[in-house]
Amino acid sequence: MKKIKKFLSGRATIVALAILIQLCWLLSFLYGFQARFTFFNTVIDLVAIFVVLLIVNKRSNLSYKLAWSVVILAVPIVGLLVYFIFGRSELTRPTRKRMEAINFEMEQELPEHPEIQNELMGKDMSVYCQSRYVMDWAGFPVYKNTETKYYPCGEKMFPDMLAALEEAEHFIFMEYFIVEEGYMFGKILEILKRKAEQGVDVRFIYDDFGCVTTLPAKYYQKMQEWGIHCVRFNPLYPVMSVIMNNRDHRKILVADGKVGFTGGINLADEYVNKVKRFGYWKDTGIRLEGEAVWSFTIMFLEMWDYITKSQEADLEKFRPACHKTRKFQTDGYVQPYTDSPLDHENVGENIYMNIINRARNYVYIFTPYLIPDDEILKALQNAAKSGVDVRILMPGIPDKQIIYWISQSYYEPLLECGVRIYQFNPGFLHAKCFVCDDEVAVVGSVNLDYRSLYLHFECGVWMYRSRAVMQVKADVLDTMERSEEINMEFCRKRPAAIRTLQSVLRLFAPLL
């Protein structure tokens, strides 16, 4: 009974009900208008056709366009209304202009490092092209003077996160999609409060939608009272909005500009397995120490300036002086990057595509959700057909049943082409990693689904011949030992009702 009361009185329920009431009111008004004025049917049909033509001619994913076209043409009034409220796959024009201005200012602080690019060109032209793409189209350079450390689970990364926070003397930047009160965040919050009292510049960003069920509505005000500069990304209000689709899915921790963390690990107890939600929660992360941390500092400040509508007067105070003199152990090439719905450049997806298309021997993938668009699906199939060892590791226990069913609907067309698929039996696999040919790896926040690839702010680290590359591979191979390999019989044994449902759900997968 207590759980039911908590659910009914929760902010997520209140917001959802408020939006549903508004939507129902608008629909009843429009249908009433339609019944009163017969010409309205013709007008709506014409508008629906016009909007579908606009959607078809937009520079967006084909499956996304197809899904919306079907909905709008099948039920024009409902389809049009829902599309105009929830269907935007890009930011509003004023938002884009403001973010473009901030990005332009910040990008001036990111060095190009032509000498490192020339080194890459001499080592491997294919790898150089991958790095050059990130530099030219995401705006983030490649670095050398950086050490990497990969974590195969949250409970191994957490102590190093706490140590980095404890050692911070000047500033701490944290940006997370999900934050939940409990053991993990409690330990972090204890340090943040103490550091704020000591005069350390502590700044914190959390996504309001991601925390709708985990934090009180105005939790940021509490943190501000403790001396922590805290803001919400895209605050969630009980009002229909055209920008609900865009969320901050990034995970970033920067301490003094010296050390940075990212990956799939949020700040909630399941990520360090202090609570069991879907069996063992397997996630991954990466720690950078050295010059490449500067890119994460810039990423955070870009988002901070956008949310607070401010502008940092002196960025140099965030650049550690030690990086100019200290030489870190040679650890390959490191290139942090971010992706956003600000433009029509799908950086996260294209980095994945470049790895798949240029693979010579193998590509191993961790992903919690497998909802690829046609381009990635074809790339995976063609790589496997060409003799590349393509393996995908998925959760054995789902966190979202519908998404799990959609993901499994892609097993058969991939298996037919020689892709090997595994399900992690002990629990839920939330990691987002690619590793290829013992040379290239990516660790970050980008899922293989439409929301991550097209609608969310994301981040990651591309690496070439770094120590972490082989650490990722070792983790994948170890995880395979604890996973079940899926075969065609598994796919064919699915009940007919489930197969039919999956076929319908796949059509609308871009809208979920």
Nearest C-alpha neighbor of 364 from the set 424, 428, 452, 442: 442
Residue 230 tokens, joined = 């805290």
CB contact set of 136 (below 8 Å; sequence gap of 6+): none
For the chain, what is the radius of gyration of the CA atoms? Answer: 23
Residue 498 tokens, joined = 């489930």
Where residue 332 falls (left for φ over 0; alpha for ψ -120 to 50; beta otherwise) is left
Residue 338 tokens, joined = 């971010």
Residues assigned a catalytic role: 249, 251, 256, 430, 432, 437
- The answer to whether residues 171 and 198 touch, using CB atoms and an 8 Å cutoff, is no
Q: How far apart are CA 369 and CA 399, in angstroms?
A: 10
Q: How far apart are CA 393 and CA 344, in angstroms?
A: 29
Residue 92 tokens, joined = 């509003």
- The answer to whether residues 448 and 370 touch, using CB atoms and an 8 Å cutoff, is yes
Nearest C-alpha neighbor of 506 from the set 408, 375, 379: 408
- The answer to whether residues 444 and 461 touch, using CB atoms and an 8 Å cutoff, is yes
SS3 (DSSP) at 382:
helix
Please tell me what DSSP assigns to residue 155: H
